[in-house]
A and B are shown apart, each in its own frame.
Chain A
Amino acid sequence: MAEPLLSVRDLRTYFYTENGVARSVDGVSFAIGGGETVGLVGESGCGKSVTALSLLRLVRAPGRIEPGSRIEFGGKDLVTLDEKSMRAIRGASISMVFQEPMTALNPVFKIGDQIAEVVRVHHGGTRQEAWHRAVQMLETVGIPSPAQRANEYPHQLSGGMRQRVVIAMALVMNPALVIADEPTTALDVTIQAQILELLRELQQKFGTSILLITHDLGVVAESVSRVIVMYGGEIVEEALVNDLFANAHHPYTEGLLNAMPHVGQERERLATIPGTVPPPTAWPAGCRFHDRCPYAWDRCIAEHPPLYQIADGHVSRCHLAVEPERRADRHEPFVVQKAIA
């Protein structure tokens, strides 16, 4: 990748709550190239959504992006940018598709007006021009009879149609980067297939970069070229999609892949990851996954692992990278041992 479109360096987003400091995003660095689709994967509480909100600086008090974090986009550092310039970027250069299309749309405005508003704010022009652009965009995202549909309100549309409207709104200014936070999680599987297909088509047409945030590894396998896996507010593994699924290195990634029932799989017992995700106010010392890991040894409790280079473009935050023989020593994780003791 010559010059990345977006470059995130040591992003830390902390929430100062009554129960202590929640280090939801704790030193995350990654880059997205032009026209690239990157998947950000992890379970609830791993920090993937807070990462997305941080990129657009939508984190509200008591949360804040810590000094020293850098989000470079188009030659600017978004962390230190003034609010007015930031507002010009949101929706125009970087836009967002949220999970729940009903809450992302305003129920009392026509969908045509909501898309036209984005055009008017960022591009100016007359009402008619903006409305015309909105109708065009509705057609692009595959809404039948767009000229009439533009006059309808969100409640008149089905869930899949609403998500198409949200995508139209996100793409109307032809942004360089779209952040899609669980864009198909609220949708049925046949509608999900339609929406993912639409995102692929639009990306090819407009050359948009996409950061796809999801918990669904199936969606990731079909949609992205590179995958970032998060756990405990950190990146624990990053690789090209084929590499990650064929040679998952981090025990957490391995556990996630094995815990998923696959269509067509033999009906054996599902592998599980014992225990639960720890709260962001109290990440475990050393490796944050050590108490749930089937390979952990004393080094994992004592020493926080760096991101080791495993192969070209493949990194993993696991000491197995330097002591690979430990993989033979599979045992009950500490969280289970403690429960038994």
Chain B
Amino acid sequence: MTATDLRPASPQPLLSVRGLVKHFPIKKGIFGKSSGAVRAVDGVSFDVMPGETLGLVGESGCGKSTTGRMILRLIEPTAGSVEFEGIDLVTLSTSQMRKLRRKIQVIFQDPFSSLNPRMTVGAIIREGLTIHKIAEGAQADARVRQLLDEVGLRAEYVSRYPHEFSGGQRQRIGIARALAVEPTFIVCDEPVSALDVSVQAQVINLMQDLQRDRGLAYLFIAHDLSVVEHIADRVAVMYLGKIVELATADDLYREPLMPYTQALLSAVPVADPTHKKSRVMLSGDVPSPANPPSGCVFHPRCQHPAKDAACSAIVPPLEEKAPGHWVACIKQPPTGVEWSVQRAAGGTKEPTRYLPVIAVEQSHPSSSSF
């Protein structure tokens, strides 16, 4: 695929990731001889538009957090490029990158370990203002109070310490800290997964309000598919270091085309006891990224009826099967991998459209009482 392929027609993307790779070497013996690599992220490309939320979902070990950290350069990529407003972040020096972090911020999963316990809330939020020379003195104090107010915390909290707050409140402090330097893009790494349902809803609403008011773009990394559907405009699904499907949230949840996405969505428990759905049950576990399967990395667990030897021989390209709907599967038509090519690779079954009945019905159990 070419770089322009993934871009929606109109505006320039804010962030443009191309061919991002991270291989962690496996060291053996006392001399640390490299004996292979964990292919944590293996050629990932996507765009994030200004003001957009791109959801990045997948199970543990699929490389979604590593991808987020490479964008922030908290982990150095092995290969690939990360363009932010036209600048390739990968080639920047440490000090240049530090300056750019004013525009790119992060919200972490664990609100307990991501705040320094020895700093007051005020000092935590103020730090970014000082480092980036945005405000000082009374001006900075006023700014901190204003930020606390914006994330729904009382201004008196400036002199308190993180341990005095609940998980949800700490996550609000983390959000205030990220907002202090007025970023345009925030990498959110599982920002609500440590929170209880009722608090999770508060934080999601807050993040959506802030996005609307400030035109923020989010890369929203999460494993909870219902949260991602709620907050994301577009969703990328990762499996074993690769993006296997990318589409608008509506398309992806209505008609998932990659067999892995189908299985993943059908595994989500539905909070409606009267709802009976057929479940695509995946057998076994995710293979080790140190030794990923050949061809399509999902083929050993795939339930597509046309799965054959070609799937273990051909690496499926991420193809646009419908407008804006990108899928990596050579058995889901249309595909640019010709049948003759598949047959030459040992294929015996022609591509055929496979859509198991997993469509989730509209149902909202207790809404009648409102």
Contact = CB atoms under 8 A, between A and B. Distances in A.
Real binding pair: yes
B196 A261 contact: no
Contacts of B226: 218, 260-263, 265
B247 interface: no
A199 interface: no
Contacts of A219: 269
B308 interface: no
Contact of A276 (B199, B363, B369): B199
B245 to A, nearest CB: 15
B166 interface: yes
Contacts of B370: 258
Contacts of B362: 264-266
Question: Which applies to chain A's interface (DSSP): helix, strand, loop or mixed?
Answer: helix
Contacts of A241: 273
Given A190-B282, A260-B197, A218 B268 contact: yes
A270 B205 contact: yes
Interface stretch (B25-33, B72-80, B83-91, B259-267): B259-267
Interface stretch (A75-83, A121-129, A242-250): A242-250
A276 B166 contact: yes
Contacts of B114: none
A335 B266 CA distance: 39
A242 B229 contact: no
B223 A188 contact: yes
Interface string B162-178: 00001111000000000
B323 interface: no
A245 B279 contact: no
A220 B271 CA distance: 7
B361 interface: yes
A217 interface: yes
Given A245-B272, A263-B253, A274-B202, A189 B223 contact: yes
B366 A248 contact: yes
A191 interface: yes
Contacts of A262: 226, 270-271, 360, 363-364
B269 A218 contact: yes
Given A257-B365, A257-B366, A242 B223 contact: no
B338 to A, nearest CB: 32
A212 B167 CA distance: 25
Contacts of A327: 369
A290 to B, nearest CB: 16
Bin the interface of chain A by size: 35 or more
Interface string A301-339: 000000000000000000000000001000000000001
B38 interface: no
Nearest to A273: B198
Contact of B197 (A191, A193, A215): A215
A222 interface: yes
A143 B169 CA distance: 42
Interface string B188-202: 000000001111111
A263 B268 contact: yes
B282 A194 contact: yes
A158 interface: yes
Contacts of A192: 267, 269
Given A160-B285, A263-B226, A269-B208, A254 B364 contact: no
A258 B268 contact: no
Contacts of A267: 229-230
Interface of A: 43-44, 158-161, 188-194, 196-197, 215-222, 241-242, 245-248, 253-267, 269-274, 276-277, 327, 339
Interface of B: 59-60, 154, 166-169, 196-202, 204-205, 208, 223, 225-227, 229-230, 253, 263-275, 279, 281-282, 285-286, 359-367, 369-370
11 contacts: A43-B196, A247-B366, A257-B271, A260-B197, A262-B226, A262-B360, A263-B265, A264-B229, A264-B363, A265-B229, A269-B205
The 6 closest A-B CB pairs, nearest first, are A218-B269, A264-B360, A273-B198, A188-B59, A261-B230, A259-B201
Given A221-B270, A264-B363, A276-B169, 18 more contacts: A43-B199, A219-B269, A221-B271, A222-B269, A222-B270, A242-B273, A245-B273, A246-B365, A247-B366, A256-B198, A260-B201, A260-B226, A261-B227, A261-B230, A264-B361, A265-B229, A265-B362, A276-B199
